[in-house]
Amino acid sequence: MLRPVLRSLPRSTPSLLARALATSAGDIKIQKVGMVGLGLMGHGIAQTAATAGFDVVALDANPKGLESGMKRIEGSLSKLLSRGVKKGTLTQQQADEQAAATLARIRPTTELAELADCDLVIEAIVENVEVKKEFYANLGKVAKPSAILASNTSSLAISDFAGSSGRASQVVGLHFFNPVQLMKLVEVIRTDATDPKIFDACKQWVLDINKHPVSCKDTPGFIVNRLL
């Protein structure tokens, strides 16, 4: 069973911390983040966003995958914070409070409709163009009109599936590296259709979660994977 604290946030009201730390670039604000797929990369992205103070809707269509992803987040938080305790930079009480606060900002779900009020939705689902096309077609019907839609794909061209959302100008790539909690680099990918304001807002959000954004064109492998 998932811990009760994970369900503690009201669905319609952003936390005070999320409002205070909201990413703002021009007239685009990011307060609530949706994370789709809680596997190797997805759970790390959800944890990182919540740790930085953003409210997160964590979605995995598979209930077992959802529970597993949440347990990985709890375990990772415990491991990272315990290092601070061992170094003497945190007391055990402070570590426990930080872990509880981070987990309280994450709302787990198996329902796509729960993403309806997210400002930014990131997917880390299977690396298959046809699967992504179907997902973005469904997401485009659910996400609010102003939502930014992002893919964590490491190799697929964003433009191959962005149009399926019905809002290609709002689709970008946000390619994190494993382990997300420790790796600072994030490739921010724009297609020819991506709105520059959307692109800038995503770069600012990456900074706001304490990562380093690198601008990339929508080419196979982007930058880092092409060099490997």
Cis before 63 (ω within 30): no
Helix axes 92-104, 42-51, angle to 10 degrees: 110
Q: Measured between alpha carbons, how far is 169 from 149 in angstroms, rounded to an integer?
A: 9
- Count CA within 13 A, CB hemisphere, residue 104: 16
212 is catalytic: no
Rounded to the nearest 5°, which phi and psi values hold at 193? -90, -15
Side chain identity, residue 55: D
Q: Among all chains, which residue has been given the structure tokens 């990772």? A: 76
Q: What does each C-alpha distance from 7 to 27, 31, 167 come to in angstroms?
A: 30, 18, 31
37 phi-psi bin (left φ>0, alpha ψ -120 to 50, beta other): left
Q: Are 59 and 135 in contact (CB under 8 A)?
A: no
Q: Measured between alpha carbons, how far is 32 from 20 in angstroms, rounded to an integer?
A: 12
Q: Which of 151, 154, 164, 165 is catalytic?
A: 154
159 is in an annotated binding site: no
154 is catalytic: yes
164 is in an annotated binding site: no
76 is in an annotated binding site: yes
Binding residues, by number, are 76, 87, 154
Binding residues for CoA, by number, are 76, 87, 154
Active-site positions read: 154, 175, 187, 225
